[in-house]
Amino acid sequence: MLETFLKSHGEYHDDRYFKDLTTLKMGGYIRHFVMPETAEDLKVIIAYLKSNRIIFKVIGNGSNLVCGESDYNGVVISLKKLNSYEINNDELYVEAGVSAPMLAQLLAKQGLSCLEFASGIPGCIGGLVYMNAGAYRSSMSDIIKEVLVLKDDELIWMNNDELRFSYRHSIFHDHPRWIIVAARLKLERKDPKEIEELMKDRLERRKNTQPLDKPSAGSCFRNPDDGFAWKLIDGIGYRGFAVNDVSVSRKHSNFIVNNGNGTAEDYLAIACQIQDKVKEKYGIRLIMEVEKFNC
């Protein structure tokens, strides 16, 4: 019954694993996996799951997730087929499943400034909005006009000032059942060569400073006020520290990487040790930036 319903409202699979859907390459079997192609399909699916008390998880590119190895018997909903965008003068309408780096490149070629700071962040627009992702002193909250949200089974637009943005935080952290469907972003016209050179320079910096050759979930911890998480991690001597096949990157100590067959248990063991030792030495409680699921 559930399988038939999901097949009628999206692309359905019963052979997916979190390790194949996340950038960290960890996680167990997913009983039901579906990719709706429209916001209305998403709305119908969510309403059905809620009314039948079926557990579910909504994901995008899986770039900020640490998933456990146990089977997940609910429904995982991927938004990657919600991937349309439209440019209207100084405004961009973009759905949640659009890849931020891909979109940044497309905009740059047209001389449209908006997402340069996100060109190296391997996430979808929905995830970047959720996290208020940022880099180089810019963040999503700087460019968002409004966000289309599936809230209490209705699709509504919420203005920027309603979204309670702060450092790596939005109102969606406080309301995990609200689903980001699309956004309207501010555009500015600039010289395409200027935009592309800036993005090229920043991507080169990322290559030189981050362990992009190994699976990770990006930065593990938020930077504390007036400081950097990596400096605190170095201060406790954890650069290169390992538990089984998971380790703190020697290239950037705020990245915990999967060296091949790592598990969420190993990842979280390292993260918890770092939190405890940083708290003990510096009196600072590091906050995890990644999201734990099914752990």
Q: What is the pLDDT along the chain (295 residues), one digit of tens a residue?
A: 899 999 999 999 999 999 999 999 999 999 999 999 999 999 999 999 999 999 999 999 999 999 999 999 999 999 999 999 999 999 999 999 999 999 999 999 999 999 999 988 999 999 999 999 998 888 999 999 999 999 999 999 999 999 999 999 999 999 999 999 999 999 999 999 999 999 999 989 999 999 999 999 999 999 999 899 999 999 999 999 999 999 999 999 999 999 999 999 999 999 999 999 999 999 999 999 999 999 9
Number of H-type helices and E-type strands within the chain: 8, 20
Instruction: Give the gyration radius of the chain's Cα atoms.
Output: 19
Q: Which long-range contacts (CB under 8 A, 24 or more apart) does 246-252 make?
A: 246/270, 248/274, 249/210, 249/211, 249/214, 249/216, 250/211, 251/209, 251/210, 251/211, 252/209, 252/210, 252/211
Q: Per-domain residue ranges for the chain?
A: 2-78, 85-194, 211-293
- 173: part of which helix (H) or strand (E)? helix 171-174
What is residue 18's DSSP assignment?
G
Which residues on neighbouring strands pair with residue 17, listed in sequence order? 29
Q: Which two tokens stand for residue 157?
A: 């637009």
Query: 15 phi and psi, to 5 degrees?
Result: -130, 35
Q: Which 3-state string (H, E, C) describes 97-121? A: CCEHHHHHHHHHHCCEECCHHHCCC
Q: Which CATH class is domain 2-78?
A: alpha beta
CATH of 85-194, one of 3.30.465.10, 3.90.1010.10, 3.40.50.20, 3.40.50.970: 3.30.465.10
pLDDT for residue 58 = 97
* pTM to 2 decimal places: 0.94
Domain covering 211-293 assigned CATH 3.90.78.10 in the classification: yes
Give the β-pairing of 291-293 and 65-67: parallel
- 279: part of which helix (H) or strand (E)? helix 264-282
- 174: part of which helix (H) or strand (E)? helix 171-174
239, 251, 118, 46 alpha-carbon torsion, rounded to 10°:
-50
CA distance 109 to 57: 35
Catalytic residues, by residue number, are 168, 219, 289
